[in-house]
Structure 1
Amino acid sequence: MRTVAIDLGGTAVKLGVFASGDLVAGDELATVDGQIGLDEVADRVETLLEGEPAEAIGIAVPGVVDPRTSSLLSAHGKYAELHDLDLAEWSSARFGHRAVVENDARAALIGELSDGSARGERDAVLIVLGTGIGTAAVMDGCIVRGRHGHGAILGGHVTVDLDGPRCPCGNVGCAEALASTWALDAAAAAGELALGPRLAARRSAHGGIGIRDLIETRDEPQSAAVLDHYIRTWAAVVVTQCHAFDPDVVIVTGGVMRAGEIILPALRDRVHADLWSSSFRPRFVIPDDPSTSVLRGLAALASDPQAKDGHDR
């Protein structure tokens, strides 16, 4: 049995083919200006399959999934061509099977619950720190989706500054608008950040900066101040998730966590300090293989009807 996982990420499309639960083939395509070509994606998948039939398909998108139509309901500036497109039907037309379609943060959480850093946990929250901020939650073994598909995935759009900038989502002072890769680069381009000489040189050389640049220049006071603000903002997101869902474990993932030994202790300590006095202080984990969390979660969803419904995770 071949299960296909397609992760339509914010900056790249990741593909995986699974057999008996193991990832046996993979590929990655860069997006162009936040857009993709589904025909190219399907062609790459067929190449990975090497003539073997696909028996289950899972697709992740970086936004809200309409549970009625399996389409991308909203992603604010990303993948406009997917809006109102029934991805399950597209999958049926290309591969002969309707796909399971899920938000990417939820899929990453399912990947870590099924075969990863939180295996066997029944109460957990996940935060993805990267281009944006994604979140997801599981309570008593059930993935939180909500009546309209928005449940638990909009943690990056909690207001942390009433006087902050307006986010592309329409809200004011969202965590993502204050402490994400895209927000950092936008603030630097607008001259809203004081940059130390090394960070400024990186921006000049590469045409932009990312959070990794902040971390690697944190000996400069300007970078250290911005990084501290980011960690406090991320902590506010995690505290809100913990207050809402009361987890045993917090999974922290995304590109930022390549510097997890620096970020995780500071984030954990801040969260533990800011939680409600009687709240349980959850343990924090980083996935061993965060690059495949979404793919593994999609494979579990696509091949397991109970996992698809979120009843045994």
Structure 2
Amino acid sequence: MRIAAIDFGGTAVKLGVFDSRTLVAQEEIAIGEAGVDLASVADRVGRLLDGAEPAALGIAVPGIVDESGSSLLAAHGKYADLHGVDLRAWSREQFGVAATVENDARAALIGEMVAGSARGARDAALIVLGTGIGTAAALDGRIVRGAHGHGGILGGHVTVDVLGPRCTCGNIGCAEALASTWALAADARAGRLDLGPALAARLAEDGAIGIRDLVETRDEAESQSLLERYISVWAAAVVTHCHAFDPEVVVLTGGVLRSADAILPALRETVHQNLWSSSFRPAFVVPEDPSASVMRGIAALAADPDPLDLSEGQS
């Protein structure tokens, strides 16, 4: 059974074709200033399918999905040209099957619970540290969605500083506004950060800096101080998520985790120190292939509306 998956990511659109749960073909489309071209996406997916008709198709989007499960309702600063587009109908027109549309962090958590680092867990949380900060949660084998589709996915928009900057979402002092890749780049360009010589040279050369630049220049006091502040903000978001959902395992993923050796030990220690005294200290796991988590999850959801059915005998 061929299942097509489309992941509208922060910097690229990832495309994949699965045979059952095995990824058999994939590629990426870079996102330019003009935004995403759905006609090009359809053409590339068709090539990956190589003439086969998909039995199902899943689409992951970086924001809120409307109550009908057909379109991207809101994603601040992202994919404005997709807002309100009926992606289920688009999929039916292009491929003969109505797409399953879901938030990308939820899809990533499903992917890790179905066949990844959180396999077998019934209560799990996911934190995506990348361009922004995305989150998701599952309780007793069910993905948290809430009454209006916002449940569990706004953990990057918890206030960690009531005197902090206004976030793109409209809230004040969000974790994402203080310690995300986009916030780092914006603050650096605006001259709001104290940068050491090496980090300043990278900014001058590339016009932007990312978390990996902080890690690679952490022998400079300025970079080390900034990295420690970011880890504190991430830890605050994780603690809040754990207090809200009480997971047995926390999946940490996203581009920041490419530097897991430099970040994960301090992050785990800070979270465990700051959790409520009687709270369970969850295990922290990092996916082996985080780039495939979303596609794996959205494909599983497209094939089965209840992919986390972990009853005895389910593989």
Which TM-score tier does this pair reach, normalised by the shorter chain? over 0.9
Deviation of the 1:305 alpha carbon = 2.6
What is the rounded CA distance, in whole Å, between the counterparts of 1:302 and 1:71 in structure 2? Answer: 15
Give the aligned partner of residue 235 of structure 1.
235
2:138 aligned counterpart, secondary structure: strand
What is the rounded CA distance, in whole Å, between the counterparts of 1:150 and 1:133 in structure 2? Answer: 15
TM-score normalised by L of structure 2: 0.97
Deviation of the 1:69 alpha carbon = 4.9
Give the aligned partner of residue 283 of structure 1.
283
- Give the paired residue count: 311
What is the rounded CA distance, in whole Å, between the counterparts of 2:34 and 2:192 in structure 1? Answer: 25
Give the aligned partner of residue 46 of structure 1.
46
What is the rounded CA distance, in whole Å, between the counterparts of 1:13 and 1:67 in structure 2? Answer: 23
| RMSD of aligned alpha carbons | 1.1
**Residues 219/173 of structure 1: CA separation in 2 closer, same or farther (3 Å cut):** same
- Consecutive unaligned residues of structure 2, counting only runs of 5 or more, are none
Deviation of the 1:311 alpha carbon = 5.5
Whether 2:80 is the aligned partner of 1:80: answer yes
Letter in 2 for 1:274: N
What is the rounded CA distance, in whole Å, between the counterparts of 2:305 and 2:270 in structure 1? Answer: 38
What is the rounded CA distance, in whole Å, between the counterparts of 2:145 and 2:35 in structure 1? Answer: 26
What is the rounded CA distance, in whole Å, between the counterparts of 1:209 and 1:286 in structure 2? Answer: 23
Alignment of 1:175-190 (within 5 A): 175-190=175-190
What is the rounded CA distance, in whole Å, between the counterparts of 1:145 and 1:37 in structure 2? Answer: 29
What is the rounded CA distance, in whole Å, between the counterparts of 1:241 and 1:34 in structure 2? Answer: 35
Give the aligned partner of residue 55 of structure 2.
55
Deviation of the 1:170 alpha carbon = 0.4
Alpha-carbon contact 1:122-1:140 (below 8 Å) kept? yes
Q: Runs ≥4 in structure 1, deviation > 4 angstroms?
A: 310-313
Alpha-carbon contact 1:130-1:181 (below 8 Å) kept? yes
Whether 2:100 is the aligned partner of 1:100: answer yes
Give the aligned partner of residue 225 of structure 1.
225
Deviation of the 1:242 alpha carbon = 0.4
Letter in 1 for 2:236: A
2:13 aligned counterpart, secondary structure: strand
1:109 aligned counterpart, secondary structure: helix
- The CA deviation string for residues 148-197 of structure 1, in whole angstroms up to 9 with x for no partner, is 10000000000000110000100000000000000001001111001000
Deviation of the 1:33 alpha carbon = 2.8
2:306 aligned counterpart, secondary structure: helix
Alignment of 1:1-313 (within 5 A): 1-33=1-33, 35-307=35-307, 312=310
TM-score normalised by L of structure 1: 0.98
Alpha-carbon contact 2:69-2:101 (below 8 Å) kept? no
What is the rounded CA distance, in whole Å, between the counterparts of 1:32 and 1:163 in structure 2? Answer: 34
Alpha-carbon contact 2:155-2:241 (below 8 Å) kept? yes
What is the rounded CA distance, in whole Å, between the counterparts of 2:76 and 2:305 in structure 1? Answer: 30
Letter in 2 for 1:199: L
Deviation of the 1:82 alpha carbon = 1.0
Letter in 2 for 1:173: G
Alpha-carbon contact 2:59-2:99 (below 8 Å) kept? yes
Alpha-carbon contact 2:134-2:156 (below 8 Å) kept? yes
What is the rounded CA distance, in whole Å, between the counterparts of 1:112 and 1:34 in structure 2? Answer: 32
